[in-house]
Amino acid sequence: MRRKIALLPVDGRPVTRKLPIDMARIADWEVIAPSVEELGFLKRPADTDSLEKWLINMASQVDGVILSMDMLLYGGLVPSRIHPYTEQRLLRKLAILKQVKEYAPSLKIMVFSSTMRMSNNNINEEEKEYWKDYGRAIWSLSYHEHRFEKLGEQEDAHMVEEMKGLIPEEVLEDYKNARAVNFSVNRQLVNEVKEGWIDHLVFPQDDTSEYGWNVKEQELLRETAREQGVDDSVFLYPGADEVAVTLLTRMIFELEEADVPVFYPVYSGIAGALSRAMYEDRPIMESVKGQIYAIGSRTEEDLTYADVVIGVNVPGHRQGDLALSLHLNQVDTNHRNVPEWLSRLRSYMKRRPVAIADVAYANGADPRLFPLLFKQLNWRNLYAFAAWNTAGNTLGTVVSQAALSWLSEKSGLERQKHREGILVERFLDDYVYQSVVRKEGRKRLDVQPSESLQTVVTPVFEGRASQLLDDWAQEYELTDVHYPWNRTFEIGFRCVRKEGES
- For residue 502, pLDDT over 80 is answered with no
Q: Assess whether 83 and 230 both reside in one domain.
A: yes
What is the torsion angle, in degrees rounded to the nearest 10, for the CA atoms of residue 305, residue 311, residue 315 and residue 319? Answer: -90
Residue 239 lies in a domain: yes
Angstrom distance (rounded) from CA 457 to CA 449: 12
Residue 422 lies in a domain: no
User: What pLDDT, on a 0 to 100 scale, did the predictor assign at position 208?
Assistant: 82
Angstrom distance (rounded) from CA 493 to CA 14: 8
User: What pLDDT, on a 0 to 100 scale, did the predictor assign at position 272?
Assistant: 98
Q: Assess whether 188 and 240 both reside in one domain.
A: yes
Residue 400 lies in a domain: yes
Angstrom distance (rounded) from CA 287 to CA 294: 10
Mean per-residue pLDDT for 72-97?
96
pLDDT digits (tens, 9 = 90+) for 341-388: 999 999 999 999 999 999 999 999 999 999 899 999 999 999 999 999
Mean per-residue pLDDT for 5-22?
98
- Give the long-range contacts of residues 468-471, CB within 8 A, separation 24 or more: 468/427, 468/428, 468/431, 468/432, 469/424, 469/428, 471/374
What distances in angstroms separate CA 51 from CA 6, 93, 104, 283, one per listed residue? 12, 12, 18, 38
Which residues 6+ apart lie within 8 Å of 296 measured at CB?
Answer: 250, 253, 254, 260
pLDDT digits (tens, 9 = 90+) for 147-168: 999 999 999 999 999 999 999 9
Q: Which domain holds residue 376?
A: 263-413
CA nearest neighbour of 15 among 248, 237, 282, 321: 248
Q: Assess whether 251 and 380 both reside in one domain.
A: no
Residue 92 lies in a domain: yes
Q: Assess whether 312 and 189 both reside in one domain.
A: no
Which residues 6+ apart lie within 8 Å of 81 measured at CB?
Answer: 116, 117, 126, 127, 128, 178
Q: Assess whether 270 and 241 both reside in one domain.
A: no
Radius of gyration (C-alpha) of the chain in whole angstroms: 22
Peptide bond into 204 cis (omega under 30): no
> Could you tell me the sign of the dihedral formed by the alpha carbons of 238, 244, 249, 252, in that order?
positive
Domain boundary among 192, 223, 256: 256
Q: Vertex 402, ends 113 and 501: CA angle to 5°?
A: 115
What distances in angstroms separate CA 292 from CA 24, 254, 346, 399, one per listed residue? 18, 15, 22, 6
User: What pLDDT, on a 0 to 100 scale, did the predictor assign at position 209?
Assistant: 85
> Could you tell me the sign of the dihedral formed by the alpha carbons of 76, 400, 198, 58, in that order?
positive
Q: Assess whether 250 and 271 both reside in one domain.
A: no
Strand-pair partners of 476: 497
Angstrom distance (rounded) from CA 369 to CA 135: 35
User: What pLDDT, on a 0 to 100 scale, did the predictor assign at position 458?
Assistant: 98
The answer to whether the CB of 477 falls within 8 A of the CB of 494 is no
Residue 293 parent element (H or E): helix 284-294
List helix spans (H) across 7-119.
Answer: 19-26, 48-58, 69, 79-82, 87-93, 95-103
User: What pLDDT, on a 0 to 100 scale, did the predictor assign at position 233?
Assistant: 97
Domain boundary among 190, 224, 256: 256
Residue 490 lies in a domain: no
Which residues 6+ apart lie within 8 Å of 176 measured at CB?
Answer: none
pLDDT digits (tens, 9 = 90+) for 37-82: 999 999 999 999 999 999 999 999 999 999 999 999 999 999 999 9
Domain boundary among 398, 413, 428: 413
Angstrom distance (rounded) from CA 288 to CA 311: 10
Which residue did the predictor score with more confidence, 135 or 450? 135
Residue 63 lies in a domain: yes
Number of domains in the chain: 2
Angstrom distance (rounded) from CA 351 to CA 14: 34
Q: What is the CATH number of the domain that holds 379?
A: 3.40.50
The answer to whether the CB of 260 falls within 8 A of the CB of 225 is no
Q: Assess whether 110 and 65 both reside in one domain.
A: yes
Q: Assess whether 249 and 322 both reside in one domain.
A: no
Q: Assess whether 29 and 87 both reside in one domain.
A: yes
pLDDT digits (tens, 9 = 90+) for 227-251: 999 999 999 999 999 999 999 999 9
pLDDT, the chain, mean: 96
The answer to whether the CB of 203 falls within 8 A of the CB of 234 is yes
Q: Assess whether 361 and 243 both reside in one domain.
A: no
The answer to whether the CB of 346 falls within 8 A of the CB of 376 is yes
Q: Assess whether 303 and 201 both reside in one domain.
A: no
pLDDT digits (tens, 9 = 90+) for 427-484: 999 999 999 999 999 999 999 988 999 999 999 999 999 999 999 999 999 999 999 9
Which residues 6+ apart lie within 8 Å of 124 measured at CB?
Answer: 130, 131, 132, 135
Query: What is the pTM (predicted TM-score) of this model?
Result: 0.96
Q: Assess whether 235 and 331 both reside in one domain.
A: no
- For residue 398, pLDDT over 70 is answered with yes
Q: What is the DSSP pairing of strand 492-497 with strand 476-482?
A: antiparallel
Mean per-residue pLDDT for 264-280?
97
Mean per-residue pLDDT for 95-102?
96
Residue 485 lies in a domain: no
Side by side, which strands form the sheet with 263-267? 263-267, 308-313, 354-358, 384-386
CA nearest neighbour of 55 among 113, 1, 101: 101
Q: Identify the band that residue 132 occupies on the pLDDT scale cut at 50, 70 and 90.
A: very high
User: What pLDDT, on a 0 to 100 scale, did the predictor assign at position 499?
Assistant: 80
Q: Running DSSP on this structure, what letter comes out for residue 144?
A: H
Residue 435 lies in a domain: no
